[in-house]
Homo-oligomer: A and B are copies of this chain.
């Protein structure tokens, strides 16, 4: 139903050695233990567009530019991944002060840091073995961090209780998602676990399912209704899947990635009732919970809505929610911080989950410290509060502004239709491609939107991800573009996209 593009460019050996190496390879490759034919076929089936061939080509082009190769542009603009700091967003001062204090506690003696930063650092260090970020933590995460996460969730959800024992710190949200899928996926043939994911989806899901050998069950978001979820589509997808596998999990990304929609409270309610009725385990990817821009939109956590539906639901529906330090106003992707909260998980399974995370010892402790700061940020009256709030608000309103700008400019291009970017960090516009271009792409064995994006990269230096990497309805084409570049650069980028699209359309009409 949907096609994902594969293919990774292997690193090139130094030029002089190429000939020699080629011969070597020819001689020995049949004799290797590990070859493309003997390796794990599940890994071969994995695809990950966000860092796929187009991004690798972008890296190559950057290198060529540095080496002086002439191009019709002077810079590659990467709008392929939600990497805020790489796009110039500044880290939150308070977070980095505390991390520096924790890394080198000698600084606690210094007067250059505010008292609240010092007290946060002391609190985190006291919870570390030997008062060092260099000790392993408990595998589930540092106790006091999990307690802070629990209190944060309670505040966010208007007092719905959260037990720190249900909180697991992770290496970013991806780690948590993969861990949960590992627990859930089993069986063979018709009893193989099916996992329902939205199309378009974030390709971590399809990649993890391929690796685990699970059945990917697609449900389509409704592009006409601003990428909302339709109950009838969930029903169709589930009924279809039940013919050939055992669907037990329903994954939702809200706010949406790559589609930028924010789910209504009603829709979340519908999804929970559906999961309860159909006996599905809910996985809610809520890493963009602070990234809501559109008027009238609001973030509703699945947990809160679950509890508002009453004990019939809140005591039974199994739910896990994921959060991360990488998105929202923090954008701290490199620290790989995150947490997940599990609700109504069977106690025996919880013990298995604790055992499973133990094998990897613990999530990186600096990331745990950062997660703590996010859920325990400066409070009114504390010395860092004003600066913190200013930095936070500035970042979020800039994002809101860029979300609007992106939608508006894209919609001025004939042949591009862009839904409102209600939240998250991406636009996912629909692009009309001429028949001639589609034909040419197919002749090259490429998805038409991959062909389009690759051409755009070569001609303009703009790096986007084709819709085929996320999945889309047959015969429709899209690209994902982050809204993260600084406003000026974003405007330039959008102008170039516009110009390219018009030129491309003319060329293939």
Interface residues of A (CB under 8 A from B): 8-11, 13, 24-25, 28-29, 31-36, 38-44, 46-48, 50-52, 59, 81, 83-89, 91, 96-97, 99-101, 103-104, 107, 110, 112, 128-130, 132-139, 163, 165, 171-172, 174-175, 178, 182-186, 204, 207-208, 211, 248-249, 279-281, 315-316, 318, 330-336, 344-352, 354-356, 358-367
Are B347 and A10 in contact (CB-based, < 8 A)? Answer: yes
With a 10 A CB-CB cut-off, give which of A36, A97, A315, A366 has the most chain B CB atoms: A366
A288, chain B: closest CB distance, angstroms: 16
- Across the interface, which residues of B come within 8 angstroms of A182, CB to CB? 40, 43, 211
Are A134 and B349 in contact (CB-based, < 8 A)? Answer: no
- Across the interface, which residues of B come within 8 angstroms of A134, CB to CB? 84-85, 91, 330-335
Are A104 and B99 in contact (CB-based, < 8 A)? Answer: yes
Chain B residue nearest to A345 in the complex (CB): B34
A184, chain B: closest CB distance, angstroms: 6
A28-B315, A34-B346, A39-B349 are known; give 7 further A-B pairs, CB within 8 A: A33-B318, A44-B352, A48-B358, A86-B132, A87-B130, A96-B104, A100-B107
A118, chain B: closest CB distance, angstroms: 13
Are B355 and A48 in contact (CB-based, < 8 A)? Answer: yes
A296, chain B: closest CB distance, angstroms: 32
User: Of B204, B208, B347, which contacts A25 at CB under 8 A?
Assistant: B347
- Across the interface, which residues of B come within 8 angstroms of A359, CB to CB? 46, 48, 174, 204, 207-208, 211
Are B91 and A97 in contact (CB-based, < 8 A)? Answer: no
With a 10 A CB-CB cut-off, give which of A46, A184, A347 has the most chain B CB atoms: A347
User: Of B35, B100, B346, which contacts A348 at CB under 8 A?
Assistant: B35
7 tightest CB-CB pairs across the interface, nearest first? A86-B129, A334-B365, A100-B104, A85-B132, A51-B358, A364-B364, A86-B135
Chain B residue nearest to A6 in the complex (CB): B355
- Across the interface, which residues of B come within 8 angstroms of A50, CB to CB? 358
In whole angstroms, what is the CA distance A332 to B128 when docked? 12
- Across the interface, which residues of B come within 8 angstroms of A47, CB to CB? 355
- Across the interface, which residues of B come within 8 angstroms of A363, CB to CB? 336
Are B183 and A43 in contact (CB-based, < 8 A)? Answer: yes
In whole angstroms, what is the CA distance A38 to B28 when docked? 44
In whole angstroms, what is the CA distance A354 to B7 when docked? 11
In whole angstroms, what is the CA distance A355 to B42 when docked? 12
Chain B residue nearest to A91 in the complex (CB): B134
- Across the interface, which residues of B come within 8 angstroms of A41, CB to CB? 186
- Across the interface, which residues of B come within 8 angstroms of A46, CB to CB? 355-356, 359
Are A39 and B362 in contact (CB-based, < 8 A)? Answer: no
User: Of B9, B10, B85, which contacts A135 at CB under 8 A?
Assistant: B85
Are B364 and A40 in contact (CB-based, < 8 A)? Answer: no
- Across the interface, which residues of B come within 8 angstroms of A103, CB to CB? 96, 99-100, 103, 366
- Across the interface, which residues of B come within 8 angstroms of A336, CB to CB? 171, 361-365
In whole angstroms, what is the CA distance A132 to B325 when docked? 14
A463, chain B: closest CB distance, angstroms: 13
Whether A139 touches B51, Cβ cut-off 8 Å, given contacts A83-B129, A352-B39, A364-B366, is yes
A138, chain B: closest CB distance, angstroms: 8
With a 10 A CB-CB cut-off, give which of A40, A139, A281 has the most chain B CB atoms: A40
